[in-house]
Structure 1
Amino acid sequence: MPPKLPKPKPPALTHFLCIPLVTSSSRPQLQKSLATFRERLSQKGIPDLPDGLPEKAIRPLGTLHLTLGVMSLLTPEKVEGALKLLRELDIKSLFSQPSPVKFAPKLPAGPDSKVKEKEKETEGQAKPENLKITLQGLRPMQTPSKTSILYSSPLDPDLRLFQFCTSLRQTFTEAGFIEDQKKLLLHATIVNTVYAKGVKGKGTGHGKRGGAKLMIDASEILEEFEEFEFMENVRVERVAVCRMGAKPDEDGEVAYEVEGEIEVPEF
């Protein structure tokens, strides 16, 4: 039997579709909340980190975003194709799609069931409202006692944000730009220890920046910041395609390079 050929490596990921979280209204909130968070995590008392969490593990303000999908755009033609799709998006139509409430379980039959069903239909066709994001709490990407990534999730009780983001992602998936079929997890990465160079932690493995990946016991941190708000009621203003690899911009702020973006209309 001939030896099995190694599986070809997947193409390198170069860009991502996202909702940027830094706006004129969110910046003051994020600056304040990240300063509070950074001060707390720099203190002693974190298990296995007697000197606190390395500052570089906390993501810079300018990098905060909600990733909708990652892409491999290895040629200028592919980049332009993705940007063309972005520019041609009919954002308003994504808001006019049926509200998630229409997909709730059917009401049991009864004298007022038809009235309630009519109310639900009307609610699903209501005039679209601005999408606003509140980032609250902190969650681990792995287990609380052994994780390298902590993130905050947007509050989304009516699933409007999730529906909007899913529609955007689906558009790019159907066009062949996004291939990842994993379930969409809306999150803003607050801590990623892969950026903390040369700091040893428990656990094994190797991060992108070399050396053993720092794994932390975040149990106490998660409990302390369970209801902490990083930002509140910030309108979704833009959808962007960004290049991977954050770096300092003209003003010295570390951020992802924006290849192209469109504005989300205000209702």
Structure 2
Amino acid sequence: MSRIRSPQLTHFLSIPLAAPSLTASLSALRRDVLTTLPGFPVKAIRPVATIHLTLGVMALDIAGPRLKAATDALLSLPDSAPDIIPGMPIQVGLRGLSMFDGSTTSEANVVFANAYGDDVTRLQEFANRVSRHFIELGFVVDTSVKNNKNNNGDDIGSPGAENEGVALHATVLNTRYASYFAPVASSNEGGVDVDRKKGKKRYRKIRPSFDATELLTKFENTVFMEPMHIDKVAICKMGERKVEDGGGYEIIAYISLP
């Protein structure tokens, strides 16, 4: 029986949060992680320019009709679905560190900062409505039927019939970006998923993990970003741009918020 492949994810719907106020707090987190966790993979620490709230992931194309249609849907949102757009400004901050339910703190892959502030309830409602709208249009992948994991193995959280909605989180540590290929000792090694073969050598992709137990406790109440006005919703292309400021995501299209 052939295995059903997950759609290739190419873009994501997000609220960018790359603010100057994040620079100092994330730099402090970086220093602490590298000091208290010897051998921690530096590439797993997310640059300030990448910090965002994910509202949904998309399986589109790089420069084809589906991408254009999704872009048009976003740009026309204030006119086509005005009830989705908040009537008043929304502010959100980032505080504390957490992991997704079901994750093991001693073998962590993803750690994120939590959204907080007086407007979080309104933000949650807005995020849910936007994500559901794009799911219904067929652009955002409904991850509720995929155990909230995308095909990169990341927990992403999207609304479904049986959960509370979009998981409002800003990833600050993610070991997917520190994955590497290691040679497989034997082609008969049990339970090994081989990702590459070069000559007579076979390789598998390794995603490192780390013990986040003390980290979560130490930064439980740390404010990484005071509540700030969220001014846009954007469609971004997956894959960071390599630029001098530490990288970021290419924004394909966006709409401004009140």
For the superposition of Structure 1 and Structure 2, which TM-score range results when normalised by the shorter chain?
Answer: 0.7 to 0.9
Tell me which residue corresponds to 1:19. Answer: 15
Q: CA deviation at 1:38?
A: 0.5
Alpha carbons 2:95, 2:224 under 8 Å: kept: yes
Correspondences of 1:106-117 after superposition (within 5 Å): none
Alpha carbons 2:179, 2:206 under 8 Å: kept: no
CA shift digits 1:56-75 (9 cap, x unpaired): 11011111111111111126
Distance 1:179 1:56 in 2: 27
Correspondences of 1:184-263 after superposition (within 5 Å): 184-197=166-179, 211-249=205-243, 251-263=244-256
Alpha carbons 2:85, 2:126 under 8 Å: kept: yes
Amino acid at match of 1:76: G
Structure 1 stretches lacking a partner, 5+ long: 97-127
Amino acid at match of 2:232: R
Q: 1:150 aligns with which of 111, 118, 123?
A: 111
Amino acid at match of 2:228: V
SS class of match (2:96): strand
**Would the alpha carbon gap of residues 38 and 205 (structure 1) be closer, same or farther in structure 2, given more than 3 Å must change?**
farther
Distance 2:227 2:82 in 1: 20
State the percentage of identical aligned residues. 33
Q: CA deviation at 1:139?
A: 0.7
TM (normalized to structure 1)?
Answer: 0.74
Distance 1:6 1:149 in 2: 31
CA shift digits 1:62-117 (9 cap, x unpaired): 11111111111126100010010100112763256xxxxxxxxxxxxxxxxxxxxx
**Would the alpha carbon gap of residues 198 and 82 (structure 1) be closer, same or farther in structure 2, given more than 3 Å must change?**
closer
**Would the alpha carbon gap of residues 166 and 190 (structure 1) be closer, same or farther in structure 2, given more than 3 Å must change?**
same
Distance 1:33 1:252 in 2: 16
Q: CA deviation at 1:236?
A: 0.6
**Would the alpha carbon gap of residues 199 and 57 (structure 1) be closer, same or farther in structure 2, given more than 3 Å must change?**
farther
Distance 1:234 1:205 in 2: 46
Distance 1:215 1:205 in 2: 17
Q: CA deviation at 1:53?
A: 2.1
Distance 1:229 1:38 in 2: 15
Alpha carbons 2:95, 2:115 under 8 Å: kept: yes
Q: 2:65 aligns with which of 51, 54, 77?
A: 77
**Would the alpha carbon gap of residues 156 and 94 (structure 1) be closer, same or farther in structure 2, given more than 3 Å must change?**
farther
Q: CA RMSD in A?
A: 2.7
Structure 2 stretches lacking a partner, 5+ long: 145-158, 160-165, 183-190, 197-203
Distance 1:68 1:40 in 2: 29
Larger % of strand: which? 2
Q: CA deviation at 1:179?
A: 2.8
Alpha carbons 1:156, 1:162 under 8 Å: kept: no
Q: 2:99 aligns with which of 115, 140, 146?
A: 140
Distance 1:247 1:161 in 2: 28
Q: CA deviation at 1:205?
A: 8.2
Q: 2:24 aligns with which of 27, 32, 37?
A: 32
Q: CA deviation at 1:166?
A: 0.6
Tell me which residue corresponds to 2:45. Answer: 58
Distance 1:199 1:149 in 2: 19
CA shift digits 1:16-35 (9 cap, x unpaired): 1111111xxx22x1100011
SS class of match (2:112): strand
Q: CA deviation at 1:7?
A: 3.1
Amino acid at match of 1:94: I
**Would the alpha carbon gap of residues 156 and 164 (structure 1) be closer, same or farther in structure 2, given more than 3 Å must change?**
farther
**Would the alpha carbon gap of residues 139 and 258 (structure 1) be closer, same or farther in structure 2, given more than 3 Å must change?**
same
